[in-house]
Amino acid sequence: MPDFDPRYFRTVCGEFATGVTVVTSGKAPAFHGMTANAFTSLSLDPPLILICVDKNTHMLKTLRETPVFTVNILAADQQNLSNYFAKSDRNYGPAEFTDINLQYELGETGVPRIAGAIGYMDCTVHDIAPGGDHEIYIGEVKACWCRSDAAPLIFFEGRYREIAPKAE
């Protein structure tokens, strides 16, 4: 068996098209956001979702201190937010959301819901599991909402993509 190539593994995983989310957490005025496509629904009863958080991110510390989060499902026109919250060299703390003039409202758990997103899920941390170089956060959904009048932001083969419009 040949040596395992982690970069090729990442390429193979990139063949699975995903939506893009920004996970928000924290307490005012120091909210924090993180771009994530490692998100999925888990259970209907109780309503559970999961996100995967790299052990070397600010989000891990934030979630440990404030065990609530919101998954914001980005619309196709929110690529700039995905890019911003994916950067590790941005300001953290109170300036993180004001630097990009992020419009939001506070959700059920007191965490930002990003304006213009096509959906959100406000969650409390239900459980945490190890996942290699990540931690898997299982969230119990306390409130959720979506709209169907916008296309989602899609990521495939290392870049953003568009899906075909809905058939009339």
Q: pLDDT tens, 34-59?
A: 999 899 999 999 999 999 999 999 99
Q: At residue 14, does pLDDT exceed 80?
A: no
Taking every pair of C-alpha atoms in the chain, what is the biggest distance, in angstroms? 52
Confidence of residue 163 (pLDDT cuts 50, 70, 90): confident
Confidence of residue 125 (pLDDT cuts 50, 70, 90): very high
Residues 74-80, mean pLDDT to the nearest whole number? 95
pTM: 0.91
Q: Which two tokens stand for residue 95?
A: 């300036």
Q: Percent of the chain at pLDDT above 90?
A: 69
Place of tokens 């990442």: 10
Cβ contacts of residue 19 below 8 Å, gap of 6+? 37, 39, 73, 74, 152, 153, 154, 155
